[in-house]
Structure 1
Amino acid sequence: MRPRAQAAHGRSFGQQAGLYDEVRPHYPAPAIELATTSWMGLDVCDLGAGTGILSNALLERGANVTAVDPDEVALAKNPARSLIGSAEDTGLPEASVDVVSVAQAWHWFDESSAAAEIARILRPSGHLVILINQLDVRIEWVLRLSRIMHAGDVYRPAYRPSPAGFDLINHELVEFTTPLTVDGIIDLARTRSYWLRSNLTTRDRVESNLREYFTLEHPVDGELELPYMCLAYVLQVAG
């Protein structure tokens, strides 16, 4: 996807802001606490914060959170102090935060420009925390589900984020599950970028394929526990 188109899609999640909060998984505590066991009093820029799934978790832990996102509709639901901005231009002062958190948004950024902006707003010894929830496609039926949804979730064990000017100092894979009905999984598909940029015919086909899958290939009675993995990375400015 071209950078301009990618940026536009990254701003489209406000279309499903309420649904996003309802069906998207939260971030497991071990992943959130990989950077620090105490967020109390830390000044945090939650970058690409959207509706605030991570922002809310950090507020509950006592952090002072500024949520930055270009999607005004999504940001309106965020419980933190909010600022319309982007990863490349946050609008925050230099050396103003202890942590920059990025949950589910790193792939939408222009990495080199975002890295420079993050380094600018971090205080000395500050950290960049990247969290990525994705379907656990190591499990065969989940991989099949991901393909039907066109979720794009691919697990690359060797992958490490490596923005220029930053060193990776810690990382962890945290396994977890979240309960969803078949209707809930279809709602989950509706929050994915593939669905958001598709026409009505394509959306109807995806929904029909999902219902057929959970009727014939992987029957479900009530709720199922949908397996996820959270990829958590902690980085700091090099040198």
Structure 2
Amino acid sequence: MRPRAQASHGRGFGAQAAVYDEVRPGYPTAALDLAGPDWQGLRVCDLGAGTGILSRTLIGRGCDVVAVDPDPAVLERNSAPSRIGTAEDTGLASADFDLVTVAQAWHWFDEEAAATEICRILRPGGRLLILINQLDVRIDWVLRLSRIMHAGDVYRPQYRPQPGEGLRLTDRSLVEFTTPIGVDGIVDLARTRSYWLRSNETTRARVETNLREYFRDEHPVTGAIELPYMCLAYLLERT
């Protein structure tokens, strides 16, 4: 996808902001602890913050948070102080943050340009924490689900961010977790995917039908199931 089109799709989640907030999972403690257990008083920029799934956790950990996102519709649901901006142009002051967090948004960024901006707003020795929740497609039935859902933003566990000069990867982890959800919730989860958001009504109806048939015929479930995820976490330091 060309960078301009990629950025445009990355700004389309406001249409399903409430659903996104309800069905997308939070981030496991073990992944957050890659940046250390004590976050009290840290000045944090939550970049690509969206509805605030991570922002709320940062506030709960005692951080001084600024949420940045290009979509005003999602920021309306974010409880942190916020501003309209992009990863490549935040509009924030230089050397003002101890930590930048990027949860579920790194794939929407121009890596090199975003890294330059992140280095600008980080203080010397500041760090970047990238968090990526994704369905655990190492499990056969989850792989099949992801294909029906067109969950295309799947990274291999071997993936490493490559932002170029200015940021050095210092640690990483893969954290497995599950979240309870029913079939209706999984349909709602599909509604928060970029494939759904840019599709017409015919395509959306087909995806929903295929999902419901999958859980009725191929992988029957009743009630809530534990949906397996993995969180890929990467800690980088400003050099």
Deviation per CA, 1:154-182, whole angstroms, max 9, x where unpaired?
34232111211211000000000000000
2: CA distance between counterparts of 1:44 and 1:129?
10
| Residues 47 and 67 in structure 2, CA contact (< 8 A), matched pair in contact too | yes
The one-letter amino acid of 1:215's match is R
Taking only aligned residues, the RMSD between alpha carbons, in angstroms, comes to 0.7
Q: Aligned pair 1:86/2:92, yes or no?
A: no
Residue 223 (str. 1) matches residue 224 (str. 2): yes
TM-score w.r.t. length of structure 2: 0.98
**Structure 2 unaligned spans of 5+:** none
Take 1:65 and 1:132, find their aligned partners in 2: how far apart are those partners? 20
Contact 2:157 2:232 survives alignment (8 Å): no
Distance in 2, Cα, partners of 1:3 & 1:74: 21
Q: Which secondary structure state, in structure 2, belongs to the residue aligned with residue 107 of structure 1? A: helix
Q: How far did 1:23 drift?
A: 0.2
Question: How far apart, in 1, do the equivalents of 2:52 and 2:141 lie?
Answer: 30
- Residue 23, structure 1, aligned to residue 23, structure 2: yes
Amino acid at match of 1:61: R
How far did residue 14 of structure 1 move? 0.7
Query: Equivalent residue for 1:200?
Result: 201
Moved over 2 A (4+): none
Q: Identity over the aligned pairs, expressed in percent?
A: 71
Q: Displacement, 1:141?
A: 0.1
- Identify the residue that residue 143 of structure 1 maps to in structure 2: 143
Query: What residue number does 2:190 align with?
Result: 189
What is the CA-CA distance between 1:208 and the residue it aligns to? 0.3
Native 8 Å contact 2:40 2:62 kept in 1 = yes
Preserved CA contact (<8 Å) 2:111 2:162: no
**Structure 1 residues 140 and 153 mapped into 2: Cα distance closer, same or farther (>3 Å)?**
farther
User: What is residue 210 of structure 2 aligned with on the other side?
Assistant: 209
The equivalent residue for 1:179 is 180
- The residue identity in structure 2 corresponding to 1:57 is T
Tell me which residue corresponds to 1:125.
125
Give the equivalent residue in structure 2 for 1:76. 76
Q: Which amino acid aligns with 1:214?
A: F
* CA positional deviation for 1:2: 1.3
Q: Does structure 1 residue 235 correspond to structure 2 residue 236? A: yes
Instruction: Give the structure 2 partner of residue 11 of structure 1.
Output: 11
**1:170 corresponding residue in structure 2:** 171
Counterparts of 1:72 and 1:157 in 2: how far apart (Å)? Answer: 32
| Structure-to-structure mapping, 1:48-67, within 5 angstroms | 48-67=48-67
* 1:153 Cα deviation after fit: 4.3
Say which SS state the counterpart of residue 183 (structure 1) adopts: helix
So what's the TM-score if we normalise by structure 1?
Answer: 0.98
One-letter amino acid of the counterpart of residue 66, structure 1: V
Give 3-state SS (helix, strand or coil) of 2:159's partner: coil
